[in-house]
Amino acid sequence: MVFSGTNSRYLAEKICASLNCPLGNMNITHFADGEFAVSYEESIRGAHVFLVQSTFPNSDNLMELLLMIDAAKRASAKSVVAVIPYFGWARQDRKDKPRVSIGAKLVADLLSVAGIDRLITMDLHADQIQGFFNIPVDHLYASAVFLPYIQSLQLENLVIATPDVGGSKRASTFSKYLGVPLVLCNKSREKANEVASMQIIGDVEGKNVVLIDDIVDTAGSLCEGAKALMEYGAAGVYAAVCHPVLTNPATERIKESVLKELVVTNSLPIEKEKMQDKLTVLSVAPLLGEAILRIFHDASVSALFDK
């Protein structure tokens, strides 16, 4: 049985369509002070329950998911699997300076204490976040939808690039599969969401470059990386990014940037006013649906990505 939180319903409906099953009926009651309560409107006793909800801002989405998990456990569900396409707070994955929180670990603890039996997520900001859980984690990759699309563009002299050194492993997977060179963009920051400088490591002159990343937030790194690549002689710059957070001023930056196309997934809802000609949205609903089906039938999930 598949259920959805409020703001991920658009994706849950597509997942259910791919599974040819109905979306479960649940009710979320809101109180005047902002508090809310969750209830299932049908029996889930003994059922394998899959809860679709990304934990993007605001934090109500995470709280809603925690209440959904708690309600499912108290309603005697046989198993509760959280399907979190976008795992929020993942950029806080380590103690990189004194006296800071590790948000990703805290969210992992909250989900575990609430009572999930398994987690399905996609393109985590850092792979090691899987180790924050003591339950099975199925980590899916948007490369399953990005690679066929990149191939369909039939770009000549293709090069794969990453906007920062931290994303080199992700970009390397694309370059190896496509059999093309890998280029690194080395950025330095003075503060969060603000790029101070960008250097290119590798040859991009006369090449069509595809930037690979997991999150596009304010689009500062992405647009600065694209600009630097063009200054180094690239013929054209495209980007493939899994999670379209698109916080202001991302939309304007992308529109005014040298990017020819930004390809994202529907792991997060995109407001109509943020849609534009440069933005292409690919659906990950069939991929998530297939993962749910394989977990339900105790089949291999990693086989989805074995080449």
Active site residues: 187
The verdict on whether omega for the bond into residue 249 sits within 30 degrees of 0, i.e. cis, is: yes
- Shortest CA distance to 240 belongs to which of 191, 290, 284? 284
Residue ranges of E strands in the chain: 2-4, 26-30, 36-40, 48-52, 79-84, 118-122, 137-140, 158-162, 182-191, 194-201, 208-216, 236-244, 261-265, 279-282
CA gap 222, 218 in Å, rounded? 9
Neighbours of 108 (CB within 10 A): 24
- Shortest CA distance to 19 belongs to which of 305, 302, 294? 294
Q: State the residue for tokens 């002689």.
A: 233
Classify the C-alpha dihedral 25-31-32-33 as positive or negative. negative
The CA radius of gyration of the chain, in Å to the nearest whole number, is 20
Write the Ramachandran bin of 297: left for phi over 0, alpha for psi from -120 to 50, otherwise beta: alpha
CA angle 124, 118, 54 (to 5 degrees): 45
Q: DSSP code of 6?
A: G
CA angle 73, 40, 283 (to 5 degrees): 95
CA gap 24, 21 in Å, rounded? 9
Q: State the residue for tokens 């059999």.
A: 179
